[in-house]
Copies of this chain bind each other. A is one copy, B any other.
Amino acid sequence: MNATDSPFATAEQKRSTREAKRAAVLRAAVQMFNERGFHQTSLDDVAARLGISKPTIYHYLGNKDQVLLECVTIGLGQLIEAAEQSRQSPGTGADRLMAFLARYAEINMDDFGRCVIRTGDEALVPESRARFRELKRRIDSALRGLIADGVADGSLAPCDPKMMAFTLAGALNWPARWHDPAGAEDPQGLARQMIAILGNGFLPR
Residues of chain A touching chain B, judged by Cβ–Cβ distance below 8 Å, are 35-37, 39-40, 94, 97, 118, 120, 122-123, 147, 150, 154-157, 159-160, 163-164, 166-175, 177-178, 190, 193-194, 197-205
Contact = CB atoms under 8 A, between A and B. Distances in A.
Contacts of A160: 193
Contact of A201 (B157, B169, B178): B157
Nearest to A157: B204
A159 B35 contact: no
Copies of this chain, complex-wide, total 2
Interface of A, secondary structure class, is helix
A201 B154 CA distance: 14
Given A97-B202, A200-B203, 16 more contacts: A35-B122, A36-B122, A37-B122, A40-B122, A94-B203, A120-B177, A156-B204, A157-B203, A163-B193, A163-B194, A164-B197, A164-B202, A170-B170, A170-B173, A200-B201, A201-B201
B164 A175 contact: no
A200 B35 CA distance: 36
Nearest to A154: B204
Given A166-B178, A202-B198, A120 B123 contact: no
A197 to B, nearest CB: 5
Contacts of A168: 171, 202
Contact of A156 (B164, B169, B202): B202
In the complex, the 9 A-B pairs of residues with the closest C-beta atoms, listed nearest first: A170-B174, A201-B201, A39-B39, A171-B171, A37-B122, A170-B171, A200-B201, A199-B203, A157-B204
